[in-house]
Each structure stands twice: as structure tokens, then as C-alpha cells.
Amino acid sequence: MSFLRLLSRNRLALAGLIVMSVVVLLAVLTPILPLPDPDVTNTAERFKKPFSEGALLGTDHLGRDLASRLMWGTRLSLAVGFAAAVAAATIGAAIGVIAGFYGGRVDNVIMRGVDMLMGFPYILLALAIVAALGPGLMNALIAVAAVNIPFFARNIRGVTVGIAHKEFVDAARLCGMSNARIIVTEVVPNVIPVIVIAMSTTVGWMILETAGLSFLGLGSQPPQADLGSMLGEARSALITNPHTSVVPGAMILVIVMAINLLGDGVRDALDPRLKSGALSRPMPTTMVRRTDPVPQPEGDGILSLRDLQTQFHVKDRIYKAVGGVDLSVRPGECLGIIGESGSGKSVTALSIMGLVSSPPGVITGGAVHYKGEDLIGAPYATLRRLRGDRVAYIFQDPLATLHPLYTVGAQLIEAIQCHHRTSTSDARARAIELLKSVRIPNAEARVDNYPHEMSGGMRQRVGIAMALANDPEVIIADEPTTALDVTVQAQILALLDDLRRERGLAIIFITHDFGVVAQLCDRVAVMYAGRIVEEGPTDAILNAPAHPYTARLMACVPELGEGRRQLAAIPGLPPVVDKLPAGCAFADRCPKAASACRSGDIALGALGPARKIRCIDPEIPVQEATA
């Protein structure tokens, strides 16, 4: 089933499949279609034009109905082509498996024989075989199959050699299995996909070869029609009555094209590396499937998220990675998002610009307003214009961010030029300036380095420089300083801090480091299992965490000069987001959990004027939060 789905994602392969299905269906139905006898000659009706009375595709030089001959000919050509492919694949694969499995002298003898066959030019060998056996369709089939055997044998031998030395084959041998049994149960199932792939890409070629032999008069014998012999007989009338050649010629073209497109699709869909999803190219923006009404913008934030929900639909499971997040950031403000690994921070950040890969990602609800404009479901062109220009990202993994085959300078220049008309020399000067601003020493020379020539921290700084390239209004930074040492981290934080003070840059800063939050962020939101559990001014939360989760999280942080203290780890693990418990997701790990915590949904309520909390039993009384 998933094979068909993968195949149908490849449009050309799907087109090939449809065309082939129609052709095969027609070929199968030919005997019961109301067609005139293909072999009855009627010289009075010679060379009738297509679409004439009683002959849809006209007639040939003996007055035989071309439509009827085409259908019967297609039927025969397909049958011979497929039969030749199956025969060549079976014999070739058997030879290849035996040679590859036994190796040594067996391999040598067999493969040198195969090499000898391969030494002859392809079509010449086929001609020689037909010459020896005599003309006729069956002999043409044998010839075509025979010349293709080496191709399969070599292919399958190579695969088998790899398998024959694998541990599971040794294990089977140790179990006492005979060689024949090992070949049948262990080796053959592993080479079948390769055989199918090789076949699907060669059937078209074999049909063409059979047609070639028939064209030369060595295949099907008159009056029997196959596509090649029809073409051969029409050759003498090519100029005077081209339709007699065009009809079978077009059919050969259509069949071979369709089979080759389909074969390529089959090969891709069966390739296990591609089956894992590499073939399902992500869409340029995250898929949006919102059923509830879209929330209106609220407050004065330049970027505001309202009830954002992002899920991953994997087979029949639904992972609720982000389950209704509200956030807002004003110009010049820095909002921190903090939480354990897997709490949905990155997915929230990527959802904003539609960068979660789809499939499997789906945004199922909520809105992201940038200056009052909803970005969820915005046309791709709009997102494309904003991405990296007005709203820039610093991604978590610096190695995956940069293209390995271009210099960092080229990538910075591209980032600038794709949003602004700038001469390359100006953009290059700007790139050097950017590298200097992120404290890359000797930026003039480093600009021509490839990513692999730089250290991890250096690459991360290039990523930061790229985010700054177009003077964005919002920067979404996903753990940008994790790969940096403390001094560089401090410099980068100072740089971001300057930018937001001088130019009113709004920053969403994702981290798991309370120290960084304290240094840079005005407000902080704590995430747990895809939802915000606490939000408020940084000082207030760091000094008096109200949610038990925040309090536990902070208890894990060692403090300098605080003397000896037990660092308390939070017991248990975060819940898996495809099976979230009813009520508070933290209840299972919370020492204060009561039965009310596990029953209904717990809303994000106000705690004093500036703070919000999703807990029915906060760690601090409300008065304290207000004070």
C-alpha cells in the first residue's frame, strides 16, 4: 500500500502507470473488441487515410485495418517483451546468485562466461542467435532474453556477494542449513527488490529490441503483426503514406516512454533508503488544516501566536507537538522560551514561518500574526518574502544550516541578494562586515572558507550572521549559543542585546540555559509537553517560580557561591505527545499532584497582573506574584 502511495507521489511515474494500464487493458481486451480481422487483405482498400469510413486509423499497403493490426501487434509485442524480460531476469538472477554465493572458482568460471557474452555488441549477438535459430518470433524472444542475461547476472552477483558475507548468512550456516536452503530463504528475498528494479528499467528496452528484430524481418513473420514488423512493412511507404509508419511508431514511443517512467518510479519507491521518506519531498510550507475559526490578533506585539497547534501525523498516530501556544513579542523585546528537550520549543519556532516539514507536520489550529497579517496559511510568496528578510531564524544545528559545497561568503551573499538588489561586490563587503560583527577573526579571508573548514562555534556564528544579514525585525533563535564557548556566547548575547536596543529588533530566544535567559530576556515562557505552563517577567519567574515544573527545573541548576546543595533531578520522563494524559501533563512527575490535576483541562490563568500560569496549586500565593 505504501508502495503505491510512494509511487503516486512521483507524477511522471503515475502518468506512466496510467498510460501502461490503459495500453495493457486494451491489449488484454483486443480479442473481444469489435475489430476487423487484422490479417484479411483487401487490396482495393489500400492506404486509406486515418479517420476514413470503416477504418479509424486507415489501412496499410495490403488494405488491412491498421487499428486492428495495431491492437493485435501491441498485444504481441508486450507479451514477447515481458516474456523476454522475465526469462532474462530469472536465468540471469539464478546465475548471479549462484556465482555470488559460492564465489571462488564457481564465480570465476561463470562470470568469465558471462563476460564473453558481454564482449559481443548487443544487437549483433541477438542477430547471430536468430541467424543460427532461424527467423521467427519465438527465436527473437530467445535471442533478446539471452543477450540480456549478462546484465542481470552481473547486477545480481554484485548484490549477492555483499549479502553472502553478512552475519545472518553465517548464522544460518551455523544453524546447519544447507546451501540451497540458505539461498532460497536468506539470499533470494534480499535480492528480489533488485531484480524487480532491474526488470522495471529494462522491459522497455527489451520491447524495443524485439521490435528491432521484427523490423529487420527476423521476428514475427507475415501476416502476423507486431509493432516492429508493422514498422518494417510500412518503411517502403514512409514518404507516400506516412500514417502507416506513424501509427506503430507512435505506439512504440508511448509504450517505451511509459514503461521507463514507471520503471524509474518503481525503482525509487522500492529503494529502502527512499522508502523511509526521503522521496516524499517536504512541501515548501507546512500543511495547514484548520477547522476552528482563526483567532484575531490581540495586543501590540509585532509577532503574536494565538492558540497555535502543530501536530505530526505519522501513519495512524497523532503527535501533538504543540498544543495551543499563545505568545507575543514586541519590537525591542526579547522573549525567552525555556523547557526540557522535546517540549516543543523548536516545533513552535518553526511553525511560525511554516518551516515544519510536511508531511508529517500539520498546523491544525491557531494563528501567527506578523504586524496583524496571519502567516498560517499565507501564500507561499508572502512567506518567501518574509523568511530571512523580516523574520529571520538562527537554527539549532549549525552543520545542517549551511550548504557544504558553497563558501560561507557565497551563502551570505545569496541570503542578501535574494531579498535585495545589490551588486555582488557590495553584498560581499556586507558579508565580511557581518562576519566581523559576529566576531569571526580575519573575516576577509574566512569569507572564502567552506563550512567544513570552520569549527562548530564558527559555523554557528555564520548562521547568526546570516540571520542578521537583512536587518530583520524579528529573530527567532533556536538554542543559538549552545555550540559556543562562554566568552563568544557572551559576545553574541551582547550583540543581540545591542541590536534590539538600537534597532528595535524583537527576539524569540529558545534555550534551556537559565543563565542566558537572565542575561538577555525581558520575559520568559516555560514550555512543557507542547504547552506553555508559565509565563511572565524574567526577574519575577527566576526569583519566585510559581509552577512546580519551573521550580523543579530551577532546582536542577547549580549556582555559584551558594554553598553545597543537593541538585534535585526531576523524576520520571516527559509524556509522549501522542498519548497526553487528561489534565496537567506534569501531574505524573509533580509531588503536589492531586486528583483535580488529572481530571479536566487546566487553563493558562492569570497570576497577578503580569504573570500567567497553568496550575491549580501554584508554588507561591497570588499576593506574592502581585507584589
Q: Which of 87, 88, 91, 110 is nearest to 99 (CA)?
A: 110
Residues 404-433: x/- map of binding to Mg ion (CB under 5 A)?
------------------------------
Short-list 476, 471, 458, CA closest to 398: 458
- As measured in angstroms, the least distance from the Cβ of 365 to ligand ADP is 16
List the beta bridge partners of residue 310: 322, 363
Closest among 470, 479, 482, 518 to 497, alpha carbons compared: 518
Which of 63, 277 has the CB closer to ligand ADP? 277
Binding partner of residue 204 among ligand ADP, Mg ion, none, CB cut-off 5 to 8 Å per kind: none
Site for ligand ADP in 562-591 (CB under 6 A): 577
Place of cell 494563528: 367
Q: Which of residues 359-378 bind ligand ADP (CB under 6 A)?
A: 360
Partner interacting with residue 354 (select from ligand ADP, Mg ion, none; CB below 5-8 Å by kind): none
Q: Least Å distance between CB 110 and ligand ADP? A: 47
Give the residue at shortest CB distance from Mg ion: 346
Binder of residue 339, out of ligand ADP, Mg ion, none (CB less than 5 to 8 A by kind)? ligand ADP
Name the residue nearer to ligand ADP (CB basis): 350 or 386. 350
Q: Which does 347 bind (CB under 5 to 8 A by kind): Mg ion, ligand ADP, none?
A: ligand ADP
Quick one: 245 or 346, whose CB is closer to Mg ion?
A: 346
Residue 346 Cβ vs ligand ADP, minimum distance, rounded to whole Å = 3
Q: Which three cell numbers stand for residue 553?
A: 527545573
Pick the binder of Mg ion from 202, 220, 346, 481 (CB under 5 A). 346
Amino acid identity of residue 605, one-letter, is G
Residues 6 or more apart whose Cβ sits within 8 Å of residue 78: 23, 24, 27, 207, 255
Size of the site for ligand ADP (CB under 6 A): 14
Where do the H-state alpha helices sit in 134-186? Answer: 137-164, 167-174, 179-182
CB of 252 within 8 A of CB of 273?
no
Contacts of 459 (CB under 8 A, 6+ apart): 398, 399, 401, 402, 451, 483
Q: Which does 73 bind (CB under 5 to 8 A by kind): Mg ion, ligand ADP, none?
A: none
The residue among 346 and 358 lying less far from Mg ion, judged by its C-beta, is 346
Q: Under rule CB under 6 A, which residues in 22-51 are in contact with ligand ADP?
A: none
DSSP code of 43? Answer: G
In sequence order, what are the residues at sequence separation of 6 or more whose Cβ sits closer than 8 angstroms to the Cβ of residue 171?
A: none
Q: How far is the CB of 214 from ligand ADP (least distance, A)?
A: 53
- Report, in Å, the least distance between residue 527 CB and Mg ion: 10
Count interface residues toward Mg ion (CB under 5 A). Answer: 1
Is residue 278 involved in binding ligand ADP (CB under 6 A)?
A: no
Burial call 295-333: b when 16+ CB within 10 Å, e when fewer: bebeeebbbbbbebbbbbbeeeebbbbbbbbbbbbbebb
From first CA to last CA, the distance across the chain in angstroms is 62
| Binding residues for ligand ADP restricted to 314-353, rule: CB under 6 A | 314, 319, 321, 339, 341-347
Q: How many CB atoms lie within 10 A of CB 93?
A: 25
> Where on the chain is the footprint of ligand ADP (CB under 6 A)?
312, 314, 319, 321, 339, 341-347, 360, 577
> Where on the chain is the footprint of Mg ion (CB under 5 A)?
346
